[in-house]
Amino acid sequence: MARDAFGEGILHVKHFRGETTIVVAAERLPEALGFFRASPGLVYNMLSDVSAVDYYPDDYGAAYDGNQSDYRPERYGVCYHILSMLYNRRLRIKAFADEADPRLPTGTTVFPAANWLEREIADMMGIAFEEHPDPRRLLMPEDWHGHPHRRDYPLGKETVAFSFNVEDIHAHKPFAKD
């Protein structure tokens, strides 16, 4: 049914442990979400989550040989987890974003609940959602540089204060200068 509606727009289908993931072309993402939400016999009418994956430094972009455990044509994957409450079935609709300019069409036109979920992904992963109704940052300050959930984001550290080093650590804190 979906292959008839989308043809070349469906790039990959994977069944694993009773769950199905359908990879669609990025430009057809809203159309695919709308199809699965409105089609009789499917009625995936609830968006339960939107998640993003950074496949760096894995072998994304490699030619798909049909035997790989996962299809990864680009560095970033965004997955819409939808549920048919009528038939008690789950489905994942996945699209990939280009590494050089990570952007996808918004899913808020079909599922308004995707609003804050997409804002979180934009803020933490740097994937822009075109025509999003509210593209403001959600979690990070406006002047923050970088996207902390990317796998190449530099990690910082803070030494944990224990009884043997608490004075050394607190001596370098701003409150210690009062």
The single-letter code of the amino acid at 72 is R
Strand partners, 39: none
pTM score, whole prediction: 0.82
Q: Spell out the residues 6+ positions from residue 168 whose beta carbon is closer than 8 angstroms to its own.
A: none
Per residue in 5-47, pLDDT (tens digit) is 778 889 999 998 888 999 999 999 999 999 999 998 899 999 9
According to DSSP H, which parts of 9-113 are helical? 29-38
**Domain layout of the chain by residue ranges:** 2-139
Q: How far apart are CA 116 and CA 138, in angstroms?
A: 8
Please give the CATH superfamily to which domain 2-139 belongs: NADH:ubiquinone oxidoreductase Nqo5 subunit (3.30.460.80)
The residue-averaged pLDDT of 42-66 equals 83
DSSP state of 98: -
Q: Spell out the residues 6+ positions from residue 91 whose beta carbon is closer than 8 angstroms to its own.
A: 19, 20, 21, 22, 36, 44, 81, 82, 83, 84
Q: How far apart are CA 112 and CA 130, in angstroms?
A: 14
Strands (E), 55-164: 76-84, 89-97, 103-105, 128-130
The residue-averaged pLDDT of 103-126 equals 98
Average pLDDT of the chain is 88
